[in-house]
């Protein structure tokens, strides 16, 4: 995957620098019920350790910028040469709006698809209707509904599996 910055107007993405992990942790905690389950990190130190381990495992993570300021994190985990999964998409609420969020995710998808990937999966909590609508607007299709898939706040919750295909994603 390209390591270069990709941009469109005042929004661009580039590989995520560890110096911005504290910011990402703050963004995630603006709406923790949409971003965190009981299995993941629950403090900044464990989040940083987890993200550094992902980096060592060759996961890709991008930082989205709007007008020069970091505003989002997008993670991707390759599974095969032609398929992978988003491993987190989160933007600070101050940057919400399709001009920023959709542009940044499309830029990342462009890099992923240009590397030979044909399909990107995305899992989300079933009650997170905003991310569902967002991904569907990008061209995602539902591939599954996973009953009692994750634990959040000690309660089993459902998840949705979506997929974005190279030939059907708006770029």
Tens-level pLDDT at each residue, the chain (171 residues): 344 456 567 999 999 999 999 999 999 999 999 999 999 999 999 999 999 999 999 999 999 999 999 999 999 999 999 999 999 999 999 888 888 999 999 999 999 999 999 999 999 999 999 999 999 999 999 999 999 999 999 999 999 999 999 998 765
Burial class (CB in 10 A: 0-12, 13-18, 19+), 44: middle
Whether 13 contacts 6, CB under 8 Å: yes
CA atoms within a 13 Å half-sphere pointing along the CA-CB vector of 109: 25
Going by the DSSP 8-state scheme, the letter that residue 114 receives in this structure is: H
Domain 6-168's class?
alpha beta
Reported pTM: 0.91
């Amino acid at each position: 995957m390209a390591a270069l910055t990709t941009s469109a107007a005042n929004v661009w993405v580039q590989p995520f620098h560890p110096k911005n992990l504290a910011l990402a942790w703050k963004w995630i905690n603006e709406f923790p019920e949409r971003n965190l389950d009981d299995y993941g990190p629950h403090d900044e130190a464990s989040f940083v350790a987890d993200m550094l381990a992902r980096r060592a495992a060759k996961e890709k993570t991008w930082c989205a910028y709007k007008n020069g300021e970091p505003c989002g994190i997008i993670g991707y985990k390759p599974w095969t040469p032609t398929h992978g999964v988003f491993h987190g998409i989160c933007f600070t609420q101050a940057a919400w709006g399709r001009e920023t969020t959709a542009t940044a995710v499309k830029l990342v998808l462009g890099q992923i698809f240009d590397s030979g990937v044909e399909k990107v999966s995305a899992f989300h909590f079933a009650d997170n209707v905003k991310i569902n609508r967002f991904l569907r607007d990008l061209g995602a299709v539902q591939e599954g509904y996973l009953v009692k898939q994750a634990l959040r706040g000690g309660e089993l919750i459902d998840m949705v599996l979506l997929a974005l295909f190279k030939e059907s994603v708006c770029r």
